Homo-oligomer: A and B are copies of this chain.
């Protein structure tokens, strides 16, 4: 970057107050209930499908339990119902009514229809019963009954998952904590929030922002997803690079086990070394070990200044080095470090109306979005400026521009957010959500490009700051030969490089039989042992995350 661009970059710089860019509001309704997606943010979970009719199609193509083309079908067809499970009878219904009251034992077909299908309309079950408990004691009574009767259960939060983890496969009883949405307490000194598992993430965020705090977790699905579901999924989301994993921010949980035992681990302490820290078993267990009924979470203070820079780099090594420098120079305020390759940029510019590169040329090989969020406008601005100048002088950045206001910021995010949306317009797309060591991060993209040649377009983008790559492979139409060239190669490559085949979405039904690509046999065996210990009848969320474990258990 020449002197002129550097000075332009900094001259064009203007700080703006925080207010997450929300270029448009997207609401999606399936059967009129449980669905609200009201943000459009750089989160891989929802960027693709919101507002894109092809979503349910293209998302299916790269998976094992694929539903043909745009059909609305049930992944359950591939999986035998466990004959050890009982079938629901009139006595069960009657018992649930005595516990929950008439209204919260739902047999209404429309409501069941919505609860039986995931939001992508990709997985469908055939449950005949949706239960809406109002307290942990009610959850306990439900599970105690289901366990003694061997009735399978699926815990469902906002039902916003991407891997088929939150809908029935067959006739499991659905338990939804939507009525357990109370905030229990907020320690305003330490920012420790205690709430029920059914609280909607966005409601928690709004409550906290009024009190001067924020949730350490932010997702595109925040308008629908429940905190209990977030914890069961170990959701990553937008603030991960800044505030880290839920394993670090969740201070306590109350969980109801399969046999109805209420496990009180609801500490509100930052330090507690009295025995095994069992809450971590339930973070990311996808509802297969227990139902999260209460949550204690450490929430950071709300910060008032935000900056965003859109940068171009010549090669992936520069991107890596820039990340290192950003962590070092902006460590305290860095809130996003998003990455996309030239192919991603070309895709967005070619397929999305009104999207333009903020740089005079769009011929650079790699692009980076760096966001800072801090407590003081002047200092944060100066920090970012110094970092950018230094990086330009070192040749890590070829060109770049800093957002001057919230509209410009939104337009930068629109490019990053638009990649998945643009992918769909090509035709079929095979999507992979991988975690990789940073030095291997881009290798799989190049390998797939070489491997597939002219047969497909391959783009790589994602949360470089978290080592989370989104690999999209696009062809004009779905082709089983192409799929055979991709899988299992992409999983084998990821495994060989000690990556994870699911960075943030979980295993669910989609990747239930692929756990061995990321976990050793001994570790999977211990998971199965723990599943058997906590849920000996295997009633909790069967057939999914633990498909292999299920096989081992049997």
The interface size bin for chain A is 35 or more
A535 to chain B, nearest CB (A): 12
Number of copies: 2
- Identify which of A2-10, A82-90, A198-206, A514-522 touches chain B: A514-522
23 pairs from A and B in contact (CB 8 Å cutoff): A189-B439, A190-B437, A212-B328, A245-B248, A247-B248, A247-B277, A264-B520, A271-B500, A272-B503, A273-B500, A273-B506, A274-B518, A275-B518, A275-B519, A275-B524, A275-B546, A276-B281, A278-B527, A280-B281, A379-B379, A379-B382, A379-B383, A530-B530
Tell whether A149 is near chain B: CB-to-CB under 8 Å.
Answer: no
Q: Which of B324, B328, B435, B501 contacts A270 (CB 8 A)?
A: B435
Tell whether A364 is near chain B: CB-to-CB under 8 Å.
Answer: no
Residues of B within 8 A of A520 (CB): 263-265
Residues of B within 8 A of A526 (CB): 263, 278, 534
A549 to chain B, nearest CB (A): 8
Tell whether A411 is near chain B: CB-to-CB under 8 Å.
Answer: no
Binding site for B on A (CB under 8 A): 187-192, 212, 233-234, 236, 240, 244-245, 247-249, 261-265, 267-278, 280-281, 283-285, 289, 300-301, 303, 320-321, 323-324, 327-333, 374-376, 379, 382-383, 386, 435-439, 466-468, 498-507, 511, 514-515, 517-520, 522-524, 526-527, 529-530, 533-534, 545-546
Say yes or no: A191 contacts B327, CB within 8 Å: yes
Say yes or no: A527 contacts B275, CB within 8 Å: yes
Say yes or no: B264 contacts A301, CB within 8 Å: no
Residues of B within 8 A of A285 (CB): 276
Residues of B within 8 A of A379 (CB): 379, 382-383
Q: A278-B526, A281-B280, A301-B328 are in contact. Are A505 and B244 (CB under 8 A)?
A: no
Complex A-B, nearest 3 residue pairs according to Cβ-Cβ distance, in ascending order: A248-B248, A332-B332, A280-B280
Say yes or no: B301 contacts A511, CB within 8 Å: no
